[in-house]
Structure 1
């Protein structure tokens, strides 16, 4: 138990760094495994068949039009212009049997190699032009590509089918504003982006591992360790057999938690923005806020969140009836189900933490793997060294203390999600000082609990406060004292150790000279920033950021606050900060339909829509923070960078761009 407070402190510290993903551009190749063709087959002057052929690369498949709601995206044909024709019946597709899909858990019809779809029509106007959109999704054995749309125009007069949208599909304004998003950056072709992934994965793996260690110290899991290990080591005919069974049990625990992330990989491939943009989605952030509040009060002991008892009973019965390796597997599932009331909230924190980063489902897999490994290790280690069981502390009231402390941590994290929603919607209900004030109240509540001044339903008889508990209470008091300057309008309000969690410094109840980070003047519109750069003949620091971007706040409050970095940004650059998650609607005359390169329309309705698309179009990157140095003629001064926590490295990058600007000279 002497390491208990260290684990809690480490868990809290890692939570503050859980979103570290070193933002770099990726030179990823775009997979395009399907080709569509269309033609018209006339039977008479008044009847014809529209034929749509899908040709697939080896290993890929296309889904049927008949797919249940809970399954993949079906192939859908939408006739957007049918003047002059009449559809006869429904679109016909190849008759293939449905095959059970293990990922979706259902029978699904899909096509391999090639599929032909046929629609009978009656021609009412021989000069008519039909317009059709085909929406579809293709998958192979490892991934699914995002849903895509292919448009066709089919002319009755010359029997031709042309892929693409007609001139009338986009207004003149749409075409102009689509073209305006591409600013034709000079020098971009010389930039070779490098992939850099390992740091983010290791961070989330450590987060999951520490979360698993904390879960071991909860009442649902800790008492199971000696019982389960004794069952394997003493119940087996030989020590070797018991050892193998215990290790298998640990392996299965690890695999079960790892497999829980598999559905998110499918979701990530179907619609990557669902995972990458959780941190900017108002509804999802509010949902996480409510869930974390529910988790917190569950840990406080006011109720228990449990899965249906019939599930664990069924798994237990299967474990007993099967025996052997299969029985051990079902025992591992039983542990996962029975311990859910304690592990569920920790897994919820892990889910929220990993999916709000750019790593998406892969980071979740690393996190779940770390969590499962931490839970599994004791069963294998204590089986290898059974004498260690004697050194385990006995179960007791300290286990409930662990749960309550975790409840306070969950409560603090809940308000982070509410803050994300508040920031992107600009509600103004959780300004920085209010957020910090709530955290101070939560920390005071934790401190009072640890000092024994408040109690919760499952606390045992009141006893003398232990040294560990007193030490944790003292650390919490220090934390409260550290937070207090955050309530002021002084230079001490920048709580660097918490950068990324509270709202930005300029989102304040106090009047600030500018709405830029650290009081810097920041243009939030590309055109206005470019105009200022040309007037002042200064280079541009283009900052792709987000209201709910943790690493963006860390860069601003830990790196930009460095005096040298701050001065060079303030005096030598025009700062243009574009918020890609801003949910405020654009003025109606600035909203438009963006025509993607491969076809398909993206509706640009909010400020975030515009700048996120602007970043993707020009820099082939969608991670934040992302920094670009440009001169007023839109020449790239040096390679862009992402999250760069090293102050000297970032300062050298700024100086390199400035030196290049001064050497070339702009008139």
Structure 2
């Protein structure tokens, strides 16, 4: 392989000022997870400017300057063969008196290497020449090689338990659950006074202003698709604005969560009928005029007008979905808006296709306002969830479990009293009879209150795992107040055989009496000392699915037995706001920011070390800090989790 020093010949041509670069390079690998002994391909891609071309790597001596790569010396890999161009073009070049190979618009090259060591480090430079027959000039260029490898294993350290498909299914299941929840929010939005009366009006418009039934159906379908597109655009804006780190900060930050709580309370007061949240009238009127133009563009603006006009009812619901999406993957806002808008758009399209169904719709009336009020109570309940997240992350101790349960208990009773007609809000009709559906909801609300009441007696309330503060925050119970049980002391998490002090154990706990650590360095050192694999639990105070896993899966005797006996457990909280001593601060290689708190450092550790940012996330390592199996995300199956642990234990024993 030739080494390029940056020199070379250029064809004569007009001079130009400034540094020119007519090829933009990107670098990939044929596989991101590799082990010692693997032969992989480095893939080099170039986007070439218009009217310019890039010479290939296979031109003969005496011809143009070919594309070449030079690697920095490294004992971690071995270069195999030459740089291979993928489908270059050829032409006869009179200047060189030979056929030359080149690329227009796009170029791709591949280079094989063999992995020699697990600490694979591939660095180097690609040098190339671009020319233009328009400007009659050539430009030399170089680009630094950059290749990212997610995981590099030793020859005997590749995970044998493949959970990759299961992992994808877990993430997919979580998003599907959020999609369904958002879909239900969309259905709820349909039953509000701003939207429900619009359904027959919109369908009648399509039917009366179309030349045929088929045209009415096409317009109705376009209308539904436009609604979905508009809401997805809202989700995309949130996705692009809130990156990985910012989304995590918003999900657990004190200021953000207090603001979210206040926003939910404002939404609730609006739903109760004390004021309405409206967009500027001038903006709505402008969109309405555009909708009058007709054609498919007019249909789109009709959909946009519906979104704007219904904002006073749908705005709080949309805000709820978007704020809930902060506690998950960055794509979650898009998924949420897709679910919400799908439910929102379906009736308009469905009734336009089958207008006969309109006669079965219930008439508008006071029941629509009742739907808004019920949603208002739900908004307040959800609002306290965000206040609780900040309370746990900063260890304020304001919203302990029994306080939180009491608030939800009171809300459930108030909702029942409202539906029974005892409580009234501004827009409620006087003398309104209790409808059968309202009676069912009221009874359900009372049943929910009874269920919550059991929490005052230290009942686990498993169905609400993840939504209530953890049981460790409980300061009061009726059983203790009556002297029926002794107050529980904080259990000692120090593992047997560990002589030191477990870091952060004064304010963090492990569930179900487990013993372990909250600091990775302490945990891996102890795991090496006792010769056990390390179980890493990437978790968070505000992680709903983490609490569900602890309540439904970790509590199983088979799982607890394995965690207690076969592994060293470490809980890595990615959202804890406790600030560390300045001597422990460091600047992240991921985003270049100084990490000062436990949560910031742990979140950075998860991203840099394991290329992940979602919780829960379970990683099992051997004593060389190499993965034993593919990491696992949320999966409420006890059987699957037991298998996950067993396969890792078998692999650990095999490597000993």
Q: Same fold (TM over 0.5)?
A: yes
Q: State which of 496, 500, 506 in structure 1 corresponds to 2:462.
A: 496
Q: Distance in 1 between matches of 2:373 and 2:154?
A: 54
Q: How many residues align?
A: 494
- State how 1:29-428 maps to structure 2 within 5 Å: 57=24, 190=159, 196=168, 197-267=171-241, 271-320=243-292, 322-358=293-329, 360-361=330-331, 363-428=332-397
Q: Cα gap change, 1:205/1:636 in structure 2, threshold over 3 Å: closer, same or farther? A: closer
Q: State which of 512, 518, 527 in structure 1 corresponds to 2:490.
A: 512
Q: Distance in 2 between matches of 1:231 and 1:385?
A: 14
Give the C-alpha shift of residue 509 in structure 1. 2.4
Q: Cα gap change, 1:185/1:516 in structure 2, threshold over 3 Å: closer, same or farther? A: farther
Given that 2:228 and 2:342 are in contact with CA atoms closer than 8 Å, whether structure 1 keeps it comes out as yes
Q: Cα gap change, 1:516/1:188 in structure 2, threshold over 3 Å: closer, same or farther? A: same
Give the C-alpha shift of residue 631 in structure 1. 4.0
Q: Distance in 2 between matches of 1:537 and 1:506?
A: 31
Give the C-alpha shift of residue 647 in structure 1. 0.7
Give the C-alpha shift of residue 539 in structure 1. 3.1
1:638 corresponds to: 629
2:612 corresponds to: 621
Give the C-alpha shift of residue 353 in structure 1. 2.0
Q: Distance in 1 between matches of 2:452 and 2:635?
A: 26
Given that 1:585 and 1:606 are in contact with CA atoms closer than 8 Å, whether structure 2 keeps it comes out as yes
Structure with larger RCO (C-alpha < 8 A, sep 6+):
1
- Where structure 1 has 5 or more consecutive residues not aligned to the other structure, the ranges are 1-36, 39-50, 61-110, 114-162, 165-181
1:438 corresponds to: 407
Q: Distance in 1 between matches of 2:26 and 2:534?
A: 46
Give the C-alpha shift of residue 482 in structure 1. 1.4
Alignment of 1:579 onto 2:578: no
Given that 1:450 and 1:469 are in contact with CA atoms closer than 8 Å, whether structure 2 keeps it comes out as yes
Q: Distance in 2 between matches of 1:185 and 1:609?
A: 30
Q: Equivalent residue of 1:473, what SS?
A: helix
Given that 2:236 and 2:333 are in contact with CA atoms closer than 8 Å, whether structure 1 keeps it comes out as no
Q: What RMSD, in angstroms, separates the aligned Cα atoms of the two structures? A: 3.3
Q: Deviations over 1:34-78 (max 9, x none)?
A: xxx99xxxxxxxxxxxx9887761799xxxxxxxxxxxxxxxxxx
Q: Cα gap change, 1:458/1:198 in structure 2, threshold over 3 Å: closer, same or farther? A: same
Alignment of 1:550 onto 2:517: no
Give the C-alpha shift of residue 520 in structure 1. 2.0
Give the C-alpha shift of residue 402 in structure 1. 0.5
Q: Distance in 2 between matches of 1:293 and 1:283?
A: 15
Give the C-alpha shift of residue 576 in structure 1. 0.8
Q: Distance in 2 between matches of 1:188 and 1:613?
A: 24
Q: Cα gap change, 1:230/1:59 in structure 2, threshold over 3 Å: closer, same or farther? A: farther
Q: Distance in 2 between matches of 1:553 and 1:185?
A: 35
More moved, 216-225 vs 199-208? 199-208
More moved, 241-250 vs 378-387? 241-250
Given that 2:537 and 2:572 are in contact with CA atoms closer than 8 Å, whether structure 1 keeps it comes out as yes
Q: Deviations over 1:376-402 (max 9, x none)?
A: 221222122111111000001110110
Given that 2:158 and 2:628 are in contact with CA atoms closer than 8 Å, whether structure 1 keeps it comes out as no
Q: State which of 514, 535, 554 in structure 2 corresponds to 1:541.
A: 535
Given that 2:534 and 2:569 are in contact with CA atoms closer than 8 Å, whether structure 1 keeps it comes out as yes
1:91 corresponds to: none
Q: Distance in 2 between matches of 1:280 and 1:185?
A: 37
Alignment of 1:477 onto 2:446: yes
Q: Distance in 2 between matches of 1:236 and 1:451?
A: 46
Q: Distance in 1 between matches of 2:638 and 2:560?
A: 11
Q: Distance in 1 between matches of 2:152 and 2:403?
A: 40
Q: Deviations over 1:355-376 (max 9, x none)?
A: 3212x13x32222122222222
Q: Deviations over 1:560-596 (max 9, x none)?
A: 1112212322333321111111111112222233445
Q: Equivalent residue of 2:284, what SS?
A: helix
Q: Cα gap change, 1:614/1:184 in structure 2, threshold over 3 Å: closer, same or farther? A: farther
Given that 2:278 and 2:311 are in contact with CA atoms closer than 8 Å, whether structure 1 keeps it comes out as yes
Q: Cα gap change, 1:330/1:660 in structure 2, threshold over 3 Å: closer, same or farther? A: closer
Q: Cα gap change, 1:594/1:255 in structure 2, threshold over 3 Å: closer, same or farther? A: closer
Give the C-alpha shift of residue 639 in structure 1. 2.8
1:117 corresponds to: none
Normalised to the residue count of structure 2, the TM-score between the two structures is 0.69
More moved, 567-576 vs 193-202? 193-202
Q: Equivalent residue of 1:365, what SS?
A: helix
Give the C-alpha shift of residue 662 in structure 1. 4.9
More moved, 338-347 vs 322-331? 322-331
Q: Cα gap change, 1:526/1:255 in structure 2, threshold over 3 Å: closer, same or farther? A: closer
Given that 1:186 and 1:636 are in contact with CA atoms closer than 8 Å, whether structure 2 keeps it comes out as no
Q: Cα gap change, 1:348/1:224 in structure 2, threshold over 3 Å: closer, same or farther? A: same
Q: Equivalent residue of 1:199, what SS?
A: helix
Structure with the greater alpha carbon radius of gyration: 2
Q: Deviations over 1:139-177 (max 9, x none)?
A: xxxxxxxxxxxxxxxxxxxxxxxx99xxxxxxxxxxxxx
1:487 corresponds to: 456
Q: Distance in 2 between matches of 1:481 and 1:339?
A: 36
1:152 corresponds to: none
Normalised to the residue count of structure 1, the TM-score between the two structures is 0.68
Q: Cα gap change, 1:57/1:477 in structure 2, threshold over 3 Å: closer, same or farther? A: same
Given that 2:203 and 2:348 are in contact with CA atoms closer than 8 Å, whether structure 1 keeps it comes out as yes
1:46 corresponds to: none
Q: Equivalent residue of 1:601, what SS?
A: coil
Q: Distance in 2 between matches of 1:470 and 1:375?
A: 26
Q: Equivalent residue of 1:415, what SS?
A: helix
Q: Equivalent residue of 2:325, what SS?
A: helix
Q: Cα gap change, 1:617/1:397 in structure 2, threshold over 3 Å: closer, same or farther? A: same
